[in-house]
């Protein structure tokens, strides 16, 4: 029985990997015309675009390089990105192996005035364990933007970069930064209290993007795909996931648009769980802000843990 189900899950996985290839195109992104007097800011990810706008307000024009709907770990910059960077004031990357293309792209842009900021600088980075992943991507998990605590560091690093690029508006950036940081902290406090009472601390999702979020709240993740969302799960991995879900009485499997959603759905059917969408905030999703999406993610995770079947 289990073998048959695993075979059908794998079959779905093989089919979806084909369609995923065709989705990682440029996504029709266009470079906005820069407004004179505003800082021209490039960022890699959507979450960083939100942080940059929160700090920079009406003093910045922000362009995200990774198109909506693209697989963020497989992104390669295009000629238009290099052209944009050659005229930009600030480039914000996340760092920790999220943008392996950064160094080459910065040097191709040849812009000696460009200020580059690594948003995750100063975060206590989480080491990954898989040797293949370390060989390919370095030793750290890059998903810091999915943590409300790490996001505060990222926002402050962005404030520092803007103040350096545009010192006459230092006070403005400082004020915006502190106001956004306090919103992040208040959402953190709200869910910190909730998670401390949750019946279970273990959840299952599409790819292992939530290690920092888990650290914030004392939770633990298991996933269909690895940290860098590569390859398809092996039959052994799927069998372990089924066992994990049963043992931990998992009631919800979180599915991500870009990480084998069909496998998440098949796994949910197999263990009698429901499927919920979770946001990874690398592209824009459902027209919702960073804070809205984080609140939805945290609420859904909390509901799933609070409703875990009791033994």
Residues in contact with Zn ion by CB under 5 A are 209
Alpha-helix residue ranges (DSSP H) falling in the chain: 2-23, 46-56, 79-85, 102-109, 131-137, 148-165, 170-195, 211-217, 235-247, 261-271, 290-306
Structure tokens at 44: 């890699």
Given the complex with Zn ion, which of 77 and 142 has the nearer CB atom? 142
In angstroms, what is the minimal distance from the CB of 29 to Zn ion? 19
In angstroms, what is the minimal distance from the CB of 44 to Zn ion? 12
Given the complex with Zn ion, which of 55 and 70 has the nearer CB atom? 70
Cα distance between residue 221 and residue 70, in whole Å: 23
In angstroms, what is the minimal distance from the CB of 233 to Zn ion? 16
Given the complex with Zn ion, which of 24 and 307 has the nearer CB atom? 24
Long-range contacts for 20-28 (Cβ within 8 Å, ≥24 apart)? 20/71, 20/258, 23/69, 23/70, 23/71, 23/258, 24/70, 24/71, 24/74, 24/75, 25/67, 25/70, 26/67, 26/70, 26/78, 27/67, 27/68, 27/69, 27/70, 27/283, 28/67
- Asked if 46 and 283 touch (Cβ cutoff 8 Å), the reply is yes
In angstroms, what is the minimal distance from the CB of 106 to Zn ion? 22
Cα distance between residue 134 and residue 191, in whole Å: 32
Given the complex with Zn ion, which of 68 and 243 has the nearer CB atom? 68
By Cβ distance, which residue is nearest to Zn ion? Answer: 209
Given the complex with Zn ion, which of 6 and 209 has the nearer CB atom? 209
In angstroms, what is the minimal distance from the CB of 285 to Zn ion? 13
Given the complex with Zn ion, which of 89 and 141 has the nearer CB atom? 141
In angstroms, what is the minimal distance from the CB of 151 to Zn ion? 15
């Amino acid at each position: 029985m289990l073998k048959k189900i695993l075979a059908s899950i794998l079959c779905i996985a093989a089919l979806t990997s084909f369609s995923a290839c065709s989705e990682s195109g440029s996504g029709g992104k266009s470079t906005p015309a820069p407004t004179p007097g505003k800082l021209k800011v490039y960022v890699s990810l959507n979450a960083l675009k939100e942080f940059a706008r929160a700090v920079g307000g009406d003093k910045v024009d922000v362009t995200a390089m990774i198109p909506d709907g693209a697989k963020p770990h497989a992104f390669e910059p295009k000629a238009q990105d290099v052209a944009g960077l050659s005229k930009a004031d600030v480039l914000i990357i996340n760092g920790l192996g999220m943008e392996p293309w950064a160094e080459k792209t910065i040097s191709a842009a040849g812009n000696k005035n460009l200020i580059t900021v690594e948003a995750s600088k100063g975060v206590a980075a989480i080491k990954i364990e898989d040797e293949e992943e370390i060989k390919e991507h370095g030793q750290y998990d890059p998903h810091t933007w999915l943590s409300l605590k790490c996001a505060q560091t990222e926002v402050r690093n962005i404030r520092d970069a803007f103040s350096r690029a545009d010192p006459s508006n230092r006070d403005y950036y400082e004020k915006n930064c502190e106001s956004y940081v306090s919103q992040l902290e208040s959402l953190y406090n709200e869910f910190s209290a909730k998670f401390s009472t949750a019946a279970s601390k273990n959840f299952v999702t599409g790819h292992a993007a939530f290690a920092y979020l888990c650290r914030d709240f004392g939770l633990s993740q298991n996933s269909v795909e690895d940290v860098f969302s590569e390859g398809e799960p092996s039959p052994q991995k799927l069998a372990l996931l089924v066992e994990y879900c049963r043992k931990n009485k998992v009631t919800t499997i979180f599915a991500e648009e870009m990480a084998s959603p069909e496998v998440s759905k098949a796994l949910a059917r197999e263990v009698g769980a429901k499927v919920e969408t979770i946001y990874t905030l690398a592209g824009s999703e459902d027209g919702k802000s960073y804070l809205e999406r984080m609140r939805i993610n945290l609420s859904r995770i909390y509901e799933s843990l609070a409703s875990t079947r009791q033994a």
